[in-house]
Amino acid sequence: MILVLNAGSSSIKFALFTTTLELRLQGLAAEIGSGGFLEVNGARTPMPLVDHKAALCAVLQALNAAGVSLSHLDAAAHRVVHGGSRLTAPVRITPDVLAEIAACSPLAPLHNPHNLAAIETLHELVPELPQYASFDTSFHATNPKVATRYAIPKMMETKGIRRYGFHGLSYASLVAALPRISGGAVPARLLAFHLGNGASLCAILDGRSVATTMGYSPLDGLTMGTRAGGIDANAVLRLVEENGLERTKAILNHESGLLGLSGGKSDMRKLMLDPSAESAFAVEHFCYWSLRHAGSLIAAMEGLDAIAFTGGIGENAVGVRARILRGLEWLGVQMDPMANHRGGPRLHTAASKVAIWIVPAEEERMIARDALSLMTGAA
């Protein structure tokens, strides 16, 4: 059995897979440090979770209650948001790898420290259990230098200030799953939309990332649930002058995006049900900037053969998909409205020059697959 963990600031998502990558159970330990509850396969139980160690203990107890003791676990596999320029492939966790993940914490201060806490706490609880890490940045390591380098002095780049890109595990999963869904090979020029509370696009040429919308951090690119997306650096400097650094961080990361545009709603489902002009504008802003960035990524591939949607919005928001696909009709995109309403997986008509697919996000299975590949390779 492989236990997959995705640790955030106040929650730990988990999933348990067999070594044939069958999902046994999944759940969430949430509201860590402020109450707390444990959810397993949709069943929620309130319980105090004072810290990440208590949350992990609760997860392990839930596994035991489901008939999976610690002796049944072959490995634990973690999602780590930032691997920097060195950790560009899945790895077995060693002291050196831990040190490198810690060194990347300044690049992802909202994520890597919590990923590290889960790894270290699990090692404390089950020291003999092998642990592996997959990185959200690694799929984009194939981006050319011209795509990752900011036009700043080189001495700044040596401090790690460059484009990295994120949602890599989602895109890697999409590339792995699409042939099974479409019945054909991965299209040569594939534009992938990972649309959710965090959102990005990726240009995938011959199965490899060549451009993506997120940059140095997950704040860049598209309009998101609470993140501003792309914003002029001088505008950021003015916000810092007027509000201070910490307040500006909060504004751009937690109070902007759909939430800021609509005046209080970050959930796309609620926005699309709300008749107000502010909510309608927020949805249109999301779609408009998705299309603006799509044009840039299509240019990076010098054409387009297929489109794939994934993520909570990408998989479920019928109207958002329709608006984006209407904006790409100049490329020969023809959407089947009934197929879009049904949720696919195939959305294109027979006459469409561009294939269109919905690919369910399977990041946890991708992490388990990475760990299994390392385990079997080592064996």
Catalytic residue among 74, 96, 136, 267: 136
Distance of CA 50 to the CA centre of its chain: 27
- What residues does 12 pair with on adjacent strands? 7, 29
3-state class (DSSP) for residue 105: helix
Edge to edge, the sheet with strand 23-30 lists 43-46, 37-40, 23-30, 11-17, 2-7, 75-80, 131-135, 91-92
| Joined tokens for residue 268 | 């796309």
Compute φ and ψ for 195, nearest 5 degrees. Answer: -115, 120
| Joined tokens for residue 278 | 């502010």
- Do residues 119 and 98 make contact, with C-beta atoms less than 8 angstroms apart? yes
Whether 136 is catalytic: yes
Bridge-based pairing state of the strands 91-92 and 131-135: antiparallel
- Do residues 121 and 65 make contact, with C-beta atoms less than 8 angstroms apart? no
| Joined tokens for residue 88 | 């560009």
d(CA 272, CA 279): 7
Residues with catalytic roles:
136
